[in-house]
Structure 1
């Protein structure tokens, strides 16, 4: 039986890269873990940084980001509000542009390569920095597993993104929530196998007579805190859509 995962999917990273600063928002919760991770990236000796996921619009959080300025540009990993709410205000205060690009850019004195990693959301993007670490937003979390919430979440796309991230090898992961991980390939492999095992549980629940998503949740996610069942139901909807397309 596949249980609810609360531990990290890979070994924790001992030390952040010298070019990465973590500013964590004070918005902890069941879906945000310790809070949203805002990452400030700047090569040593470079005057300006790039901000990834400015997070919620909390004045203390904005002040902490600006303290680490000046800011060259703003990036986001996906459109969820806990990652983007502060974007307009931060752009207004700093004058920094919000960038959306394919391929590579030089920002904060670093090579930033954008790669599409949809699944958690349609617009999810990861950023590989100097081929030394990858920022993944909510595609991989520092603890537990992420939500693939139908209809914006797409499980087939998510599994494909896991293959993309496995291809990065043992690269450190800087996630959108929770602690940094030491090995992207290990974390993505764990996520892929966990999703496959959950799919088999959902398939069995449907074969056993479960009809509605919440019927499946009561069977497959019985070990999950009921406060998370609505999110689990959206994940089940994504699983059911996947099974319809991949019988």
Structure 2
């Protein structure tokens, strides 16, 4: 079982100091895919005149913009970082950047769109355009803090996590979430890439993981081991459903996700599809006529 983390204690729009170098402001956009809402992180000192970086400004929401402006009043914003271009993370980046006079740094928009049946929050902000394109490995120096860009494709092909070097902490975006597993939605989402990125995060041995949605993961080792084991167990369950005679994803979902809120089943079907695509690449299953979401799937 994954040791999921209870929701944080917070008030919408209030900047909470959650570590010596991190403050968090949560947007009022709760939902089945955003949990309590989008958490925007402010990195750096909280005092007047401090230079700070801001991660995932969030959805296009005037109240959240006002809350962020109040949180950084009297400070200098040097970097605005975006983990990926889904609508609950990226749209406020440009208005906030124009208000504070800071550049936006992120990976490019993905070449392939998120699947049309994914949650609206997982649609891409197609108007998004970073001022500085990140590819992973860049180190950004701030006022008493250093951030490393860590490419973590899988949930989105352009997903970028950010390492706060001084606290050995990872801002994981949607790659790792403390309250839920992550949706991997083809054609942009890719399960093979997701698992490789997860292994890369595990290898780093972070002390704390700060997801964009939900509370921090303060014991990453056992949590990530369970997170990875869950994905491999789900893969085994998909193979078992095929062995039992299921041929379509729609036939598998009620059995695989019986304990999950049915509102999440459309997204769950995309993750199952991602597993099947990875298995098809590995030569373990076959899709007829092609590996589409409505294909017939059989064991090889």
Q: Structure 2 length normalisation: TM-score?
A: 0.75
CA deviation after TM superposition for structure 1 residue 244, in Å = 0.8
Partner of 1:151: 187
1:84 aligns with 2:81: no
Task: Please point out which of 278, 284, 287 is paired with 1:242.
Answer: 278
Superposition deviation, residue 167 in structure 1? 1.2
Q: Counterpart of 2:158 in 1: which secondary structure?
A: coil
SS at match of 1:73: strand
1:125 maps to what in 2?
160
| 2:236 alignment counterpart | 200
Greater per-residue helix proportion: 1
- Note the 1:22-33 alignment, pairs <5 A: 22-33=24-35
| Runs of 4+ residues deviating >6 angstroms | none
Higher relative contact order (CA 8 A, sep 6+): 1
Query: Superposed, which structure 2 residues align to 1:91-240 within 5 Å?
Result: 91-99=97-105, 100-101=133-134, 102-132=137-167, 133-240=169-276
- What's the offset of the Cα at 1:130? 1.8
Ranges in structure 1 where 5+ consecutive residues have no aligned partner: 10-14
Which ranges in structure 2 are unaligned for 5 or more consecutive residues? 7-16, 106-132, 285-300
In the comparison of the two structures, how many residue pairs are matched? 239
Question: Which structure has the larger Rg over C-alpha atoms?
Answer: 2
Deviation at 1:16, TM superposition (A): 2.9
Deviation at 1:73, TM superposition (A): 1.5
Shift of 1:92: 1.6
Q: CA deviation at 1:170?
A: 4.5
Counterparts of 2:225 and 2:61 in 1: how far apart (Å)?
Answer: 35
Q: Is the partner of 2:104 in helix, strand or coil?
A: coil
Structure 2 counterpart SS, 1:177: coil
Partners of 1:51 and 1:75 within 8 A in 2: yes
> Are 1:74 and 2:80 counterparts?
yes
8 Å Cα contact 2:5/2:216 also seen in 1: no
TM-score (norm 1): 0.90
